[in-house]
Amino acid sequence: MANWQWFHRLGSPKWLHGTINRWLPWVLVSALVLLSIGVVWGLAFTPPDYKQGNSFRIIYIHVPTAVVALAGYYAMAIAGAVSIIWRMKVADMALRAIAPVGAAITLLGLFTGAVWGKPTWGAYWVWEDARLTSMLVLFFLYLGIMALHDAFQNRQGGSRAAAIIALVGTVNIPIIYKSVDWWSSLHQSASIKFTEESTIAAEMMYPLMVTIPGVYLLFAAAVMLQMRVQIAHSERHSRWLEKYAINRA
């Protein structure tokens, strides 16, 4: 059982709380550094697109949010699986922590997508864009989980319910994405072709390599903050937290 020690430690809210406190500043700072580098690089030092001009530059935010929105859901589902299989309190807390952060990132992705859509296709919302439609569905999936958390007075029940629906969502998301893809290709009007994408020049892509990890880290930092709230709530009667609070004060 020796090599499982880390796993057991992970199950201890006290250990996790200390670890989060130690890591949070580093994660937050590196997220901000990466994002600033990526944004400045993307806005000032990349050539404009020959067709879209400068409006394409929003991809440096839009694409990372879209990536992280989906990854966040999977992270949540993994937490759900851990909570169901090993009944770890900490996994329940992670599930609760990720849901609102994931929803916020998804909303940001939808917003930037719409802003990008206006100059590109002349409308804020174009249904033919399968990716935005799928993202909207993803947003609803997040909202469903948050609603489920809120509906239960019994926290343990709420966590378990959310874990189950997150796992069901995991199975469903690829099917949803594929079906929406197929649906939009079926109904696509001839004037706009979304299928032939990624004709972006390589040098336009480089800042993305910085902003994507940047948004990942920002997401991680937000989840850690949420996690700390969750731990404080669930351990509010324990002595170690009391000592910690007294030391802080």
Partner 1 sequence: MPTSSETAAGPSIHSISSTEPLLSSQPLLVVDSLLCERGDRLLFAGLKFDLVAGDGIRVEGENGAGKTTLLRVIAGLTQQYEGLITWRGLGTRRNRGELHAEMLYLGHLAGVKAVLTPLENLRWWAVVHTPHLKEQSKVQFTHLLLQALDKVGLSRFAHAACHTLSAGQQRRVGLARLYLSRHPLWILDEPFTAIDRNGIEQLEALISDHLAQGGLAIITSHQAMNIEGFDRCILADYKTDYANTLEQTDNSAFEIEAQY
Partner 2 sequence: MPDFTVSDSTIPDPTVLSRNTKLSDQYRPVFSIFYALLVRDFHVYFRHRGAWLNPLTFIFMVILLFTLGIGPNATTLTANAAGIIWVVALLGIMLSLDALFRADYDDGSLEQLLLSPEPLYLPVMAKVLAHWVVTGLPIVVASPLFSLMLGISGKAIPALALGLLLGSGVLSFLGAIAASLTVSLRSGGLLIALLILPMYVPVIIFGSQFVQSAIEGWPLTATLSMLVALLIGSAVLAPLAIIGGLRMSIDG
Contact residues toward partner 2 (CB under 8 A) are 84, 137-138, 140-141, 143-144, 147-148, 151-152, 154, 156-157, 160-161, 164-165, 167-169, 171-172, 175-176, 178-180, 182-183, 186
- CA dist 207 and 82 (Å) reads 35
**228 touching partner 1, by CB under 8 A:** no
- Lookup: tokens for 64: 């990372």
Nearest distance in Å: CB 246, partner 1: 15
Left, alpha or beta for 129 (phi > 0: left; psi -120 to 50: alpha)?
beta
- CA dist 229 and 62 (Å) reads 28
80, 107, 129 from 137: Cα distances, Å: 20, 11, 13
Nearest to partner 2 of 27, 163 (CB atom): 163
Nearest to partner 1 of 154, 189 (CB atom): 154
Cβ atoms of residues 113 and 63 within 8 Å? no
| Residue 41 interacting entry, from partner 2, partner 1, none, C-beta within 5 to 8 Å by type | none
How many other β-carbons are positioned within 10 Å of the β-carbon of residue 5?
A: 9
| Residue 88 interacting entry, from partner 2, partner 1, none, C-beta within 5 to 8 Å by type | partner 1
Nearest distance in Å: CB 160, partner 1: 9
**239 touching partner 1, by CB under 8 A:** yes
Interface with partner 1 in residues 149-178 (CB under 8 A): 154, 156
- Lookup: tokens for 134: 């799928």
Helices (H), 87-201: 89-121, 130-151, 155-187
- CA dist 210 and 38 (Å) reads 5
Nearest distance in Å: CB 154, partner 2: 5
**86 touching partner 1, by CB under 8 A:** yes
Q: What 3-state class would DSSP assign to 236? A: coil
| Residue 86 interacting entry, from partner 1, partner 2, none, C-beta within 5 to 8 Å by type | partner 1
Binding residues vs partner 1 (CB under 8 A): 8, 11-12, 14, 86-88, 154, 156, 237-239
